Homo-oligomer: A and B are copies of this chain.
Amino acid sequence: MSGKKLAIIATKGSLDLAYPPFILGSTAAALGYEVQIFFTFYGLQLLKKELNLQVTSIGNPAMPMPFPVPVMLQTLPGMQSMMTRMMKNKMKKKGVVDLAELRDLCIEAEVKMIACQMTVDLFDFKRSDLLSTCEYGGAATFFEFAGEADVNLFI
């Protein structure tokens, strides 16, 4: 054990930005860190039992594309699902661990996951839709741990 602590606030819920909290969390845990992730706003999507995350190139001119696609075409029906399928296939082909498996790794490594009660209420999430292992709290809960942590990250 390193005796170190990592605190993460996860606020994004797209497929691409779902990876950093779980990659960083599981890696830190493997290095002996005690890890807490506080999920708030769109980050709550990462706690759903049934993950159904999407990715889009819209608003993200930095996404590598196999060929240039005009922005207007990117808004066509079905494009978001297609981009999501393409990214999932690419990850699979490249040997990137599936997101649900990565999350399971975090749970096994005792990464503590806390859902923000305020945004659970705001967005009408149901506790029964979220992981039964997650806890509930507010910003004060986050600071209890973060104030003592070695690394704090807002994702």
List chain A positions with a Cβ less than 8 A from chain B. 2, 4, 7, 9, 11-14, 16-17, 19-20, 23-24, 27-28, 30-31, 33, 40-42, 45, 53-56, 58-64, 70-72, 74-77, 79-80, 90-91, 94, 96, 118, 121-125, 138-140, 142-143, 146-147, 149-155
Contacts and interface: CB of A to CB of B under 8 A. Distances in A.
Contacts of A80: 61, 71
**Copies of this protein in the complex:** 3
Give 6 closest A-B pairs by Cβ, nearest first: A59-B59, A13-B62, A54-B61, A42-B62, A27-B139, A153-B154
B153 A9 contact: yes
Nearest to A81: B61
Nearest to A70: B77
Given A58-B58, A60-B42, A62-B42, A143 B94 contact: no
16 contacts: A2-B147, A4-B147, A11-B17, A16-B41, A20-B41, A27-B138, A27-B140, A31-B147, A42-B62, A59-B60, A61-B80, A64-B124, A71-B79, A72-B75, A146-B151, A154-B154
Nearest to A144: B31
Nearest to A141: B27
